[in-house]
Amino acid sequence: MRAVLDTTFRSLRVRNYRLFALGQLIKLIGVWTMFTAQDWLVLDLSGNSPGALGVVTALQFVPVMALTLYSGRLADRYDKRKLLILANAAFAVTAVAFAVIVASGTVRLWHVFLFALLFGIANSVETPVRQAFVSELVELPLLPNALALSAATFNTARVGGPALAGAMLAVLPIRAVFLMVTVLVIAPVFTYTRMNTGELFGLPRASRGDARVLDGLKYVGKRADLLLPICLMAVIGMIGFNFPVTLAALAKIDFHAGASSFGLLTTALAVGALGGALAGSGRRARPSAYRVIGASLAFGLLEFAVGFAPNFLIAAVLLVPTGFFSIYLAQAANHRVQMGVDADYRGRVMSLYVLVFLGTTPIGASLAGWWGEHFGVSSSIWLGGLVSFLAAVAALVWQLRVSGDRLEFRSRPVVRPALKSVLTER
């Protein structure tokens, strides 16, 4: 057990990484609690409209489409730690202002839309810079483990945040929930400022050059090994990863559940996701394209099954392995991109990855909300799973053609032991 723990959490020996992980964990618990309460608030203000949930989710990610590539350019040119301090401070100020409006009792649906857009602007800068910053916290041999633990931190918050929100919403008014959790989101500002900058592994600023966005796109275009995971995650991120829209509507509309039950659905997804993150924490080498594709196939099948769940309990059970393969897939794709890119281009390439993975969410969330409102929430879930599965099949065909590999199916005869009769004499 000691050896397993030492392998799983070895990046935490690095002080700068410990500070990074602690700040992210505290902040993300607050963020997921706030966003879970926000989804419930939207349903109350909109009269249980899945479309309104889709609009809120879309607005949170519209800035990602517009600003992420530029943020990657900033990450390759300037001090990532200082950029992260500014972005997290902006997010914290926005969260406090939103909580004050909710607590005052004057909140309207358009207020939620506005603040969703503001949160998205802060995240569009913070996310690609943070993705690239992990490589400066640890040496290259520790990078897979550091990335896996970052994903585990994210999903630990996904477990704790919705569960905390469900419990708080069951006993407290929603205004109190918003006020209490916003104090958590400022944590990264303090942890980033306490880092030892002399122990970072970043490039000297003079070697970063102009860091043009177009050069980063051309670099990816010449690399088939980077194009496959990026294109695959563009489709699955847009169509398959719309649980913030679908789960709240599924709980309240299809299963007639309360806020605490909605929190349980999100927690079931996050428990599986945490397991998927920890499963990849022991990875030391760059994952193969087939590992990424295999996780995509499994995720698509499981999400398809969730869409046909007949009741709340079965949906919650199916969401655990769905969550496992969702983060195992995202993590494997992230590792394949991060560990295959030159350091000079890491900020721009990771910004492109974030753009296709998260920036497509406004399209997918709007489609999921519109489809759920017109054809049923469950159908928007199984359709997302079907599209994700077909995208994985297309990626498999592409990889086989590019690599020249072939699939072979071999069947082995089943060897059954001969039956022996034992005669006993009396």
Burial (0-12, 13-18, 19+ Cβ within 10 Å), 90: middle
CATH number at residue 139: 1.20.1250.20
Give the pLDDT score at 426. Answer: 40
Query: What share of the chain in percent tops pLDDT 70?
Result: 85
pLDDT surpassing 50 at residue 157: yes
| Domain-located, residue 251 | yes
Give the pLDDT score at 421. Answer: 45
Position 422 confidence tier, pLDDT thresholds 50, 70, 90: very low
The two tokens of residue 107 are 């909140």
> What's the pLDDT tens digit per position in 226-285?
889 999 988 998 888 877 677 777 777 777 776 666 667 877 887 887 788 778 666 667
Position 193 confidence tier, pLDDT thresholds 50, 70, 90: very high
| Domain-located, residue 108 | yes
What domain range includes position 49? 8-190+212-403
Give the pLDDT score at 397. Answer: 92
- Find the mean pLDDT for residues 97-105: 89
Q: What is the DSSP letter of 236?
A: I
Please tell me whether residue 420 adopts helix, strand or coil conformation.
Answer: coil
Burial (0-12, 13-18, 19+ Cβ within 10 Å), 223: middle
Give the pLDDT score at 23. Answer: 92
| Domain-located, residue 379 | yes
Give the pLDDT score at 77. Answer: 79
| Domain-located, residue 137 | yes
Give the pLDDT score at 2. Answer: 62
- Find the mean pLDDT for residues 358-374: 74
Q: What is the DSSP letter of 340?
A: T
More confidently predicted of 85 and 351? 85
Number of structural domains in the chain: 1
Give Cα 366 distance to the centre of its chain. 18
pLDDT surpassing 50 at residue 334: yes
pLDDT surpassing 90 at residue 419: no
| Domain-located, residue 408 | no
| Domain-located, residue 330 | yes
Taken as a whole, the chain contains a residue count of 426
Q: How many CB atoms lie within 10 A of CB 321?
A: 19
> What's the pLDDT tens digit per position in 32-88?
888 888 888 888 888 878 778 778 877 887 787 777 778 777 877 788 899 999 999
More confidently predicted of 419 and 298? 298
pLDDT surpassing 80 at residue 129: yes
| Domain-located, residue 423 | no
Give the pLDDT score at 12. Answer: 86
| Domain-located, residue 426 | no
H or E element in which residue 66 lies: helix 50-77
pLDDT surpassing 60 at residue 4: no
- Find the mean pLDDT for residues 334-351: 79
Q: CA-to-CA distance for 316 and 149, rounded, in angstroms?
A: 25
Q: For the chain, what is the mean pLDDT? A: 81
Give the pLDDT score at 49. Answer: 80
Q: CA-to-CA distance for 275 and 264, rounded, in angstroms?
A: 16
